Amino acid sequence: MAVNFKYWDDCIDPTEMEEMWGIPEVRTEWLDAGESRGRRVHLSRDPDGQPYLTQTEMKAVAEIVVRRHFDSRLDLIKALCVLLAFLLLVPRSGKEKNTDPYSFWEDMICAIAELESDRQPLTMRYDRKNKDTTIGIMQLSPITAEWLFSELGYKSYEVVGNPDLLYRPFVSIYLGAAYIQWLSSFDQQEKSEEFIVRSYKGGPKKATHKSTLPYWRRYLSVKESLPSRGKFLSWKAGCFVYKRQTKSVLVVSWHMKAATMCEFSKQEFLGGLQALGIDSLDKFRERIAFMRSELKDDQKFREIYNFAFGWAKEKGQKSLALDTAIGMWQLLFAEKQWPLVDHWCQFLQARHNKAISRDTWSQLLEFARTVDPTLSNYDAEGAWPYLIDEFVEYLIENGIIQSDQSDDLSQKL
């Protein structure tokens, strides 16, 4: 093979090398391996002597490539979704301070590279059936690379007539990411992660063919094994899918009239942005504090509370799963303090253990708003759902309310 790399300096330019040194995880890994800044950095080698990128290095190159070349190519909706995740879903404890809002794209690149080449830049394969050669970490053919350059305008590297450039990590990952970007909106439609990955393996025509299914399953396994980066978002069937519930996410979902917890359709997201008067990332940032404060308004809290039932329940179900309901009550009443919320949740787990009806959901808010936490104004003859009456009995039986009040209530019940 004519192409051979011993050092990182052999396959990237000085600017790229500086960017690599600028990433803390890479810098730490290289220094721990005995490398020095200002001197050539050795590539890692497997037992067969083949150079490969460590997972840290692979992640770093993907991150640099995405940020340098693809931020402006991501459409506004995706960019706003990523911002939403970064601003609302990342915990503020600092435990995940390195969470990257673009990690979905970078992890896809890293997982595909793992499958295609084991992160070995000098990998080359010849497909006898298609009479096609694929090269480099992302295993692109020179024909595909030239098409991306000439037809789609990905011209950061002069690959036409120079296929050996595909052995270079930054070049291969740049063009691999370009191909992924093209697949993500194939046929002018937003495509799912599964479509993109299976199309990368077999082309768009094989995206649903059984021949690419094993590749998809292996991809999912590899992606799960990647070092944790606080993954909290993905795209599924044209929807932005997230994994964490916060008060802010609930309020944003209310504004966007989201039908389902943990995802926004593009239509819901666009409609919510329009209703909030948001047409830029800066305006989104400005509105975050306002949206968080809306739970303090009594009328809006009621509206958000009622919205939460339909939003949180499973599709096709009339009732709300108990675990989900408890989680939502703890989330909501953390803002609008109700001293009995923990006792309510404990009661449900001990005595009820069934799904929550909409009537119980609605009436509990009335109970929390109108009945004193000491139950001094509780009317046992009122039209409360049986579950709330049983809750009052539970409070009495467990001595949670004072004895004089419990005696009075016991006589009424």
Tell me if 230 is assigned to some domain.
no
Instruction: Compute CA distances 171 → 33, 57, 69, 72, 126, whole Å.
Output: 25, 15, 11, 18, 20
pLDDT of residue 101: 43
Mark whether 262 and 287 lie in a shared domain: yes
pLDDT tens for 210-263 read: 999 999 999 999 998 887 544 444 444 445 454 445 677 788 889 888 888 877
| 58 close to 110: Cβ distance less than 8 angstroms | yes
Tokens of 269: 């997201």
Q: Is the model's pTM score more than 0.85? A: no
pLDDT of residue 169: 97
Mark whether 128 and 217 lie in a shared domain: yes
pLDDT of residue 98: 37
pLDDT tens for 198-217 read: 999 999 999 999 999 999 99
Tell me if 231 is assigned to some domain.
no
Instruction: Put residue 212 in one of left, alpha, beta given phi > 0 → left and psi -120 to 50 → alpha.
Output: alpha
Q: Which uninterrupted H or E stretch holds 12?
A: none
Q: Give me the number of domains the chain comprises.
A: 3
Residues 6+ apart with CB under 8 A from 70: 105, 177, 181
Mark whether 27 and 146 lie in a shared domain: yes
Is residue 173 over pLDDT 90?
Answer: yes
Look up the CATH number of the domain holding residue 18.
Answer: 1.10.530.10
Mark whether 37 and 111 lie in a shared domain: yes
Residues 6+ apart with CB under 8 A from 276: 255, 287, 291
Per the structure, the complete domain to which residue 149 belongs is given by 8-225
Residue whose entry in the numeric block shows the structure tokens 């970007």: 181
| Alpha helix positions (H), 213-321 | 213-225, 247-255, 266-276, 281-293, 298-312
